[in-house]
Structure 1
Amino acid sequence: MILWFTLTQVAVATAAALLCVILGLAGRRPSDLTVGSLALVEVLLIAQVVVALVAPAAGNPPTGSLLEYWVYLVSAVILPPAGVAWALLERSRWSTVIMGIAAVAVAIMIWRMHAIWTVQLA
């Protein structure tokens, strides 16, 4: 993984999480702003899938478990659409908070994926 891209993804996911949780607790229902923030997180995750496919061929192989990395990545890619689907089905202030919680989970998973890719030496 690329450090600056990881930090960018964590920052965007954290910002989306704060936005969604704050707006949800303020009583706002899901809107284009909150759904769009999770869409941006999803676009960055799709870019991470491409990076994960290309990086080993470019001389940046993982040092940790490749299976564990891909399980985290696939799970992280599923979370934002699941949060948005929930928000569009329920359409309450709490569904906006749920989108924020999904974004927090993605931020944590991205940081863990970075640790799996770069830090673990066997």
Structure 2
Amino acid sequence: MILPFTLVQLALACLVGLVCVVLGLIGRKPNDVTVLALGVVEVLLLAQIVAAILAPGLGNPPSGSPLEFWLYLVSAAIIPPLAIVWALVERTRWSNVVLGAAAFAVAVMLWRMEQIWTVQGM
């Protein structure tokens, strides 16, 4: 994994999570801002998948378990679309909170993926 890219993803996921939770708690229903923001998090996860496919061939293999890394990455990539579907089907203020929780879950998983990729072999 590329640390600066991971940090950007992590910061964005936390920001999206915070915005979605705050908007949900003040009573706003899901809208373009919250849904598209989580969509951007998903697009960056798809870019991370491409980077993870290319990195070992370019001399940057994971130091930890590749299976564990890929399970985290695939799981993280599944969470935003499921949360977006939930938000579009059940358009309540709590759907925004679900979008925020999904973004925070992705942030935690991104940090764990960074640990698996770089720290475990030291």
Q: Please, what TM-score do these two structures have when normalized by structure 1?
A: 0.99
**Aligned to 2:55, what secondary structure does the other structure show?**
helix
After TM superposition, where is structure 1 displaced by more than 4 Å over at least 4 residues in a row?
none
In the alignment, residue 74 of structure 1 is paired with which amino acid? V
Q: Who is 1:23 aligned against?
A: 23
Structure 2 distance, partners of 1:62, 1:25, is 39
**Any unmatched runs of 5+ in structure 2?**
none
Deviation track 1:92-114 (CA, whole Å, cap 9, x = no partner) reads 00011000000000000000000
Q: Who is 1:38 aligned against?
A: 38
Give the C-alpha shift of residue 80 in structure 1.
Answer: 0.4
Structure 2 distance, partners of 1:24, 1:51, is 33
**Aligned to 1:61, what secondary structure does the other structure show?**
coil
Q: Who is 1:69 aligned against?
A: 69
Q: What is the total number of aligned residue pairs between the two structures?
A: 122
In the alignment, residue 104 of structure 1 is paired with which amino acid? F
Give the C-alpha shift of residue 58 in structure 1.
Answer: 0.5
**Aligned to 1:120, what secondary structure does the other structure show?**
coil
**Any unmatched runs of 5+ in structure 1?**
none
Q: Who is 2:104 aligned against?
A: 104
Q: Who is 2:8 aligned against?
A: 8
Give the C-alpha shift of residue 121 in structure 1.
Answer: 1.4
Name the % identity. Answer: 61
Q: Please, what TM-score do these two structures have when normalized by structure 2?
A: 0.99
Structure 2 distance, partners of 1:2, 1:17, is 22
Structure 2 distance, partners of 1:18, 1:66, is 31
Q: Who is 1:50 aligned against?
A: 50
Deviation track 1:54-85 (CA, whole Å, cap 9, x = no partner) reads 00000000000000000000000000000000
Give yes or no for the alignment of 1:88 onto 2:80.
no
Give the C-alpha shift of residue 118 in structure 1.
Answer: 0.3
Deviation track 1:3-52 (CA, whole Å, cap 9, x = no partner) reads 10010000010010001000000100000000011000001000000000
In the alignment, residue 74 of structure 2 is paired with which amino acid? V
Structure 1 distance, partners of 2:44, 2:111, is 14
